[in-house]
Amino acid sequence: MPDNNLQHKIVDVPTSAPNCVALTLEEVQALSYRVLTHHGLSAAQAQAIARIITAGERDECHSHGLYRLLSCTRTLQNGGVVRDATPVVSDRAPGVVAVDAQFGFSQLAFEVGSKLLIEKVRKTGIAALAINNCYHFSALWPEVEALVEHGVAALALTPSHSWVAPAGGHRPVFGTNPIAFGWPRAGALPYVFDFATSAVARGEIELYRRSGRALPEGWGVDAEGNPSSDASTVLDQGAMLTFGGYKGSALATMIELLAGPLIGDMTSVESRIVDAGAGAAPCHGELVLAFDPQFFSQGDFREDRLRAEKLFAGITDQGARLPSQRRFSARSRSLANGCVQIPEALLKDVQQLLR
Amino acid sequence: MPDNNLQHKIVDVPTSAPNCVALTLEEVQALSYRVLTHHGLSAAQAQAIARIITAGERDECHSHGLYRLLSCTRTLQNGGVVRDATPVVSDRAPGVVAVDAQFGFSQLAFEVGSKLLIEKVRKTGIAALAINNCYHFSALWPEVEALVEHGVAALALTPSHSWVAPAGGHRPVFGTNPIAFGWPRAGALPYVFDFATSAVARGEIELYRRSGRALPEGWGVDAEGNPSSDASTVLDQGAMLTFGGYKGSALATMIELLAGPLIGDMTSVESRIVDAGAGAAPCHGELVLAFDPQFFSQGDFREDRLRAEKLFAGITDQGARLPSQRRFSARSRSLANGCVQIPEALLKDVQQLLR
């Protein structure tokens, strides 16, 4: 599996990508696996993460691709991650499965728990997967997409580190609290969204800080709760804001409650306290719901599906976009090309992780 | 129960409310019941609606109080409401109950279905109630609050009439698609939010039209998708917008899917077509979820509850508000006063409905 001699691929670049190296998806996965096991992760943990990183590169979500190995290994160095954690599954109720990730990463815990989630939802119609005690650093769309492949609709929620103030406030209480949703479509890629309930990602504000640019309105406040366009003020003294004002703030609260106290796991405030400034990936819980349409239909399941397709057509026919379209286009491209383009500098940084 | 001789209450007004009449909650309920049965609704349908209208007045949500009798009776005159509809409950799966409202109003269907929903969630940990074929005109918070009284967390979603364009679009596809959530709190009123995923309520834009004021940015677009500050343009030619840009638009899509095609019921576009300009309350479905915390906890249920309370304190201690606080203050006031203040003009309009 390991193959560190990747430079030869430069000559194979099928599209013009200056200063990039073409890697096959297998090579991305093998490199990721090698880096992760080199840093002491068990084979099972490393494989689950390598798959997600490969999906990120395939979909040209570069911040969720190989780049994540940098923060993932930093979390391994600084955080309390259990490198060979074996997730423990509990069958809590006919509709509830819980997985104790045992302070490993989320990916393996999800893989292990989602099997029982699907079994349950096939009987109960709606079921929930609670993942506890796990380190999170990846997007939620790979999880809802994995569930949607079974023909179910899926919703995933998780807190993070408290960086975001409630509407009308000035002190961080919420994480960037993402919500992801997936809907299966016959003969088409699924309808999928995955967004942070913060106005923007924290990394976006970091980029503004580095370039010294003023933040757009609505991204953050200073320590007194006044709107601030200064990235350092927002990141270090004040707080980020949610999207959508008091409505986004309410939604962020719901995510804290359902993926925190409901499942007996940490809020974003607690998770940040536990991190104690180490800058590791947040450790907390996650809630995933699955809905099996066959139990909800009034009878004509094909008609129901057609209704959903008409809704999508009503959006795209007027030139509006469905979420994930950019990602799905990238996916087709990657699969057609048989490879993805990795910046040489990033590849060098990742290979440094093997030293 | 009926008591139309309400004018005597004027002398009892405990607070200064000019041109208002004080009614007890019992009087509000009796008047509502009388109006609804006068318009041919069955006793069971009328009682369920009268309770919700009374709750609206109690909480000083005037637009969901007696005022709603005006639109409700209009719906009865113009729409296809079955006035003596008896909801039919189906036990679809261990976690799914469906109620066919038989084209009556939503309130009775919810009351009937929520009993089985609570029974189910006590066994399965998570359960869903799908309400089909019903006319909706009330807020969702009374429903999530009714469920929260059983110690469960609750989420409710429903489409409406297509008035709202997707992000990047210009033609209406979504309804105002409300989402409501409730969380039980020990020794306190619950955490509850209930908001439309449109930027504002349609009624708010109507008020701008009447007063000839320019709409704030972000409320609507013209027929070409350009931002418009003209209420008539937005209401008649263009479209309303969702809150929160593309994220709100994604959320509105999820609500369409889960409370429409998933449960085999109409989307907001279909519901508006069925209405055919009658201006009746929208006819469609609703999805309600319940979560029983005892099945999700990692073991220390009191600690979980405390976590949630710390989250709320983290919001309120910095001077930010929890949703529904205004409503809960009004509730305390109404219950302490033993009565609510009804504008004389409104009372006259409502009494006209008894002719």
**Predicted local confidence at residue A276, as pLDDT:** 85
Of A94, A246, A295, the CB nearest to B124: A94
Quick: pLDDT tens for A53-86: 999 999 999 889 999 999 899 888 877 899 999 9
Does B175 lie in the same domain as B128?
yes
Q: Is pLDDT of A14 > 80?
A: no
| Region for A119 from its dihedrals, namely left if φ exceeds 0, alpha if ψ lies in -120 to 50, beta otherwise | alpha
Asked if residue B234 is part of any domain, the answer here is no
Asked if residue A130 and residue A61 are part of one domain, the reply reads no
The answer to whether residue B24 is domain-embedded is: yes
Q: Nearest C-alpha of chain A: how many angstroms from B22? A: 33
CB–CB of A264 and B304 under 8 A?
yes
Query: Distance between CA atoms of B244 and B250, rounded to whole angstroms?
Result: 10
- Would you tell me how many other CB atoms lie within 10 Å of the CB of residue A331? 17
Name the residue facing B132 among A94, A251, A298 (closest C-beta): A298
Question: How many structural domains comprise chain B?
Answer: 2
Could you tell me if residue B100 is inside a domain? yes
Strand order in the sheet with A220-221: A164-165, A239-241, A220-221
C-alpha distances in Å from residue A15, one per residue of A24, A341, B167: 14, 9, 32
- What CATH number is attached to the domain comprising A127? 3.30.1370.60
Which of A134, A192, A181, A126 lies closest to A157, judged by CA? A181
In a domain, B54, yes or no: yes
> Residue B320 domain-assigned?
no
Which residues, including other chains, have CB under 8 Å from residue B68's CB and lie 6 or more apart?
B53, B56, B137, B138
Looking at the structure, tell me whether residues A74 and A92 fall in a common domain: no
Residue A63: active-site member: yes
Strand residues in B166-270 grouped as ranges (E): 178-183, 191-196, 220-221, 239-241
With contacts defined as CB-CB under 8 Å, which chain A residues touch B318?
A: 165-166, 169-171, 173, 225
Q: How far is CA A348 from CA A18, A21, A66, A68, in A?
A: 15, 11, 11, 14
Q: Which residue of A has its CA nearest to B173?
A: A314
Please tell me the pTM assigned to this model.
Answer: 0.94
Name the percent of chain A lying above pLDDT 70. Answer: 95
On the question of pLDDT at B112 being above 70, the answer is: yes
Phi (first) and psi of residue A166, to 5 degrees: -70, 160
- The beta-strand segments (E) located in A184-316 are 191-196, 220-221, 239-241, 283-291
Tell me: ipTM over 0.90: yes
Residue of A126, A132, A292 lying closest to B298 (CB–CB): A132
pLDDT 10s digits, A327-348: 999 999 999 999 999 999 999 9
The CATH number of whichever domain residue B341 belongs to comes to 1.10.1530.10
Whether residues B303 and A100 touch (CB distance < 8 A) is answered with no
Q: Are residues B107 and B157 in the same domain?
A: yes
Q: Which candidate in B140, B224, B296 is best for mutational testing of the A interface (most A CBs within 10 A)?
A: B296
Residue A41 makes CB contacts below 8 A (sequence gap 6+) with: A49, A76, A83, A84, A105
User: Looking at chain A, which residue has its C-alpha nearest residue B293?
Assistant: A262
Residues A24, A124: one domain?
A: no
Over residues B181-231, the pLDDT tens digits come to 999 998 899 999 999 999 999 989 999 999 999 999 999 999 999 999 999
> Exposure string (b/e) for A5-23, b if CB count within 10 Å is 16 or more?
ebeebeeeeeeeeeebbbb
Residues A98 and A122 in one domain: yes
Same domain, B36 and B129: no
Per-residue b/e over A63-95, b at no fewer than 16 CB within 10 Å?
A: ebbbbbbeebbbbbeebebbbebebeeeebbbb
pLDDT in tens, B266-311: 999 999 998 888 888 888 999 999 999 999 999 888 999 999 999 9
- CA of B228 to nearest chain A CA: how many angstroms apart? 18
- Within this chain, do residues A29 and A154 fall inside the same structural domain, yes or no? no
Residues 83-142 of A with CB under 8 A from B: 92-96, 98, 100, 123-128, 130, 132
The angle subtended at Cα A173 by Cα B125 and Cα A140, nearest 5°, is: 55
| Domain contains B220 | no
Are residues A126 and A164 located together in one domain of the fold? yes
Of residues A60, A90, A150, A204, which has the active-site annotation? A204
Alpha helical stretches, state H, B228-324: 231-232, 245-258, 268-275, 301-316
State whether B295 and A92 contact (CB < 8 Å).
yes
Query: What 3-state class would DSSP assign to A50?
Result: helix
Higher pLDDT, A177 or B75: A177
Question: Given this model, what pLDDT does residue A281 score?
Answer: 83
Q: What is the pLDDT of residue B290?
A: 98
Contact of B197 with B178, CB cutoff 8 Å: yes
- Domain span holding position B17: 7-78+328-352
Q: Do A165 and A248 belong to one domain?
A: yes
Residues B67 and B105 placed together within one structural domain of the fold: no
| Dihedral pair phi/psi, residue A124, rounded to 5° | -95, -15
Q: Which of A329-338, B5-14, B165-174 has the lowest mean pLDDT?
A: B5-14
| Predicted confidence (pLDDT) per residue in B21-60, tens digit | 999 999 999 999 999 999 999 999 999 999 999 999 999 9
